[in-house]
A and B are shown apart, each in its own frame.
Chain A
Amino acid sequence: MTADTKISLSIENVEKYYGGYRALSDIDISVVEGEFLVLVGPSGCGKSTLMRCIAGLEKIDAGTLRIGGRDVTSAIPSERGVAMVFQSYALYPHMTVADNIGFPLRIAKRPKAEIKARVAEVGRLLKIEGLLSRRPRELSGGQRQRVAIGRALVHQPQIYLFDEPLSNLDAALRVEMRVELARLHNATGTTMVYVTHDQVEAMTMANRIVVMNGGVIEQIGAPLELFNNPANRFVAGFIGQPTTNFVNGRVVSADAGAITVELPGGKPFPVAVTERLKGPTPTLEVGIRPQFFSLAQDGAADLTITVDVVEQLGDETLIYGELDGDQSITVQVAGQHHVARGARLDLAVDHDKVMLFDDRGLNLCRRPS
């Protein structure tokens, strides 16, 4: 972040309680102007709560919220300069598309001619100008989504908030809308905060991702940074598809810059580490992404699995198997490989990509990107 970057949204030490339950704990995020920030995490992690706090639909119990440098901690939603697209779209069923889009302007008592012109402009931008006289029930899911976005656009806010806006769409439409939203972000250049539980959406759309879990931030970073250098076991498991394999490895030796581990049924190999192990540890959790396996040549196996299921995807093959000791392993290899169920398969691991996690779940191998 350079000195002249303008902070659009600043969330400082925010906490939120529901009775005795702490929904958000010590949340600290700065969003620069024009950034596409994605809040991602499993259900109940607090991402939607945080978004609702930013919008002013929920009050925070501690901390400060600033939008465009202005303290909006206790401002009502309409004074915050934000517009929100809801998961359910929240379109008014008794109003036409034009009335739905123009609703914020009507509330603001803008002249009718201005409302009409702005609605037409937004309609053109979102390619729904032909639907303006229809009711929401006459629209498809994707069209409703566009109307909901249109209602946010007409606000001309400082920040757009998207609360899982694609979760009600089918897979094909979701991909299409994802691209359109990215395009819209490029066109408007406005700050966008986007909540999703889908890590593919997060990876493909975000400038930066905030990974949340249990009301706390696990890690903030660019998509590839999170993929390559997860801070901990949770982020390593959440970011990346298929999910990271976690295997118990025996610690053979631990030096300042490297730890040598041995996987069940394999040979020991050294892994470069950036953190020191605290005290003697007989075993460590080894994280290996499915993409970083390869089929081992003769005698070079780091581990051997018994194949359970094979999925042919055409350009790649997903192999699900089990290590000795019933630990399941997913392997993603390029090309088409035919392996029989029950066969023993020797695998080699890219040692430079292996992650080691200590007993607190912290990644010991934070490599510079």
Chain B
Amino acid sequence: MIRGRMIAGFLTPAILVYGFFFLLPTLFTFYYSLFDWSGFGEEKTFVGLQNYVRLWNDYVFWLSLWNTVMILLVGGVFIMGLAFLYTILINSGIWGKKFFRFIFFLPNIVSVVALSAMWAYIYNPRIGLLNTAFASVGLEGLSKTLWTSPDNIFWAMLAALIWVFTGFFLILIMAGVDKIPADMYEAADLAGASLWQKFRLITVPMTWDVLTISFVIWVINAIKMFEFPFAFGLLQVPQQLYTLGIYLYVMGFGKREPIYQLGYATAIGVVMLVLAFVMIVVIRRLMRTDSLEF
């Protein structure tokens, strides 16, 4: 009885804070998405599912969704693949493990605005690092590429985004790999296993739980991706860089000119929430496994 009261006593503050700041706003998001509302004043017009019908027919919404899905899938494949590759390289016994881990993680502790300014310089068509580098090795054709042209800007942003996020997932995956006992690999060495066999038969299955969490974290990050593409677009974010998060912000609060369609923006928020929820359920289903003891 006392134990029950103690548990309730300790949990209540957290539940209240969580309920007030997370659960309630989420429920209100659903509610507001049924209204035509600027976000200011009492004046709200109930429109039912009209906002969702409008989304269905909105070209910019579909473009934002497409970009988000591209970030999620293409970005995800590169980020996880590179994080694993770097983990194997850094763990291969090379000098300076901690140094390289720090270097890869560095983008995560630098302001997003600073990072996007740096990438703006890298991609600058005339004086940028990338084109200058291409020119210096004789790749004249590539050195004339306009990386921030409407055709290229999304992929240029995605490449930079991959660079930013790889370090974070490198840390996660490396922590998972580090907890695999060394003798698991030694037993494989005695059997004559190749690097690929060790990766496939030992590393991946034994970091499965870390991979699942990493995928879930990435899905959440990718679906609500906002700051980096927004900062990358500088003052006027072009539609080619719109993600669901950016489109929500633009519809809710505008760019230079305010739009103030909060009802419509919350409908985008609901789509993001449902998308994240479905993806997480699917990932957890697909990657479900028994917990390992070692």
User: Do A and B associate with each other?
Assistant: yes
User: Which residues of A approach B to under 8 Å, CB–CB?
Assistant: 55-57, 76-79, 82-84, 86, 88, 90, 92-94, 103-104, 106-108, 135-137, 151, 155
- Closest CB in chain A relative to B179 CB, distance in Å: 12
Pairwise interchain contact A78-B189, C-beta atoms closer than 8 A: yes
- Closest CB in chain B relative to A360 CB, distance in Å: 39
B191 within 8 A of A: yes
Contact partner of B181 (CB less than 8 A), chosen from A79, A90, A103, A155, is A90
Pairwise interchain contact B293-A92, C-beta atoms closer than 8 A: no
Q: A93-B206, A135-B290 are in contact. Are A107 and B184 (CB under 8 A)?
A: no
Number of A-B contacts (CB under 8 A): 71
Chain B contact surface mostly? helix
B122 within 8 A of A: no
Pairwise interchain contact B184-A137, C-beta atoms closer than 8 A: no
The distance in angstroms between the C-alpha atoms of A97 and B202, with both chains bound, is 15
The distance in angstroms between the C-alpha atoms of A11 and B202, with both chains bound, is 32
Pairwise interchain contact B189-A57, C-beta atoms closer than 8 A: yes
- Closest CB in chain B relative to A76 CB, distance in Å: 7
Nearest residue (CB) in A for B188 is A107
Pairwise interchain contact B205-A94, C-beta atoms closer than 8 A: yes
The distance in angstroms between the C-alpha atoms of A84 and B181, with both chains bound, is 16
Encode B252-294 as 1/0 by CB contact (under 8 A) with A.
Answer: 0000000000000000000000000000000000000110111
A83 / chain B contacts, CB cutoff of 8 Å: 190
Pairwise interchain contact A94-B190, C-beta atoms closer than 8 A: no
A57 / chain B contacts, CB cutoff of 8 Å: 186, 189-190
Nearest residue (CB) in A for B190 is A77
Q: A93-B206, A94-B292 are in contact. Are A78 and B184 (CB under 8 A)?
A: no
Pairwise interchain contact A84-B187, C-beta atoms closer than 8 A: yes
Pairwise interchain contact A108-B187, C-beta atoms closer than 8 A: no
B201 / chain A contacts, CB cutoff of 8 Å: 92, 103, 106-107
Pairwise interchain contact B206-A155, C-beta atoms closer than 8 A: no
Pairwise interchain contact A137-B186, C-beta atoms closer than 8 A: no
Encode B168-205 as 1/0 by CB contact (under 8 A) with A.
Answer: 00000000000001011011111111000100011001
Pairwise interchain contact B192-A107, C-beta atoms closer than 8 A: yes
Pairwise interchain contact A93-B188, C-beta atoms closer than 8 A: no
Nearest residue (CB) in B for A163 is B183
Nearest residue (CB) in A for B191 is A104
A86 / chain B contacts, CB cutoff of 8 Å: 183, 186-187
B190 / chain A contacts, CB cutoff of 8 Å: 55-57, 77-78, 82-84, 104, 155
The distance in angstroms between the C-alpha atoms of A310 and B262, with both chains bound, is 88
- Closest CB in chain A relative to B156 CB, distance in Å: 40
The distance in angstroms between the C-alpha atoms of A79 and B191, with both chains bound, is 9
- Closest CB in chain A relative to B190 CB, distance in Å: 5
Pairwise interchain contact B183-A94, C-beta atoms closer than 8 A: no
Pairwise interchain contact B187-A151, C-beta atoms closer than 8 A: yes
Q: A93-B292, A135-B290 are in contact. Are A108 and B192 (CB under 8 A)?
A: yes
Nearest 3 Cβ contacts at the A-B interface: A78-B192, A104-B191, A90-B183
Residue from B190, B193, B205 having most chain A Cβ neighbours under 10 A? B190
The distance in angstroms between the C-alpha atoms of A155 and B188, with both chains bound, is 12
The distance in angstroms between the C-alpha atoms of A84 and B190, with both chains bound, is 8
Residue from A55, A83, A86, A151 having most chain B Cβ neighbours under 10 A? A86
The distance in angstroms between the C-alpha atoms of A333 and B187, with both chains bound, is 47
Pairwise interchain contact A90-B292, C-beta atoms closer than 8 A: no
Encode B197-221 as 1/0 by CB contact (under 8 A) with A.
Answer: 1000110011010000000000000
- Closest CB in chain A relative to B198 CB, distance in Å: 9
The distance in angstroms between the C-alpha atoms of A92 and B180, with both chains bound, is 10
The distance in angstroms between the C-alpha atoms of A278 and B140, with both chains bound, is 86
The distance in angstroms between the C-alpha atoms of A135 and B289, with both chains bound, is 13
The distance in angstroms between the C-alpha atoms of A10 and B72, with both chains bound, is 58
The distance in angstroms between the C-alpha atoms of A356 and B7, with both chains bound, is 69
Pairwise interchain contact B293-A137, C-beta atoms closer than 8 A: yes
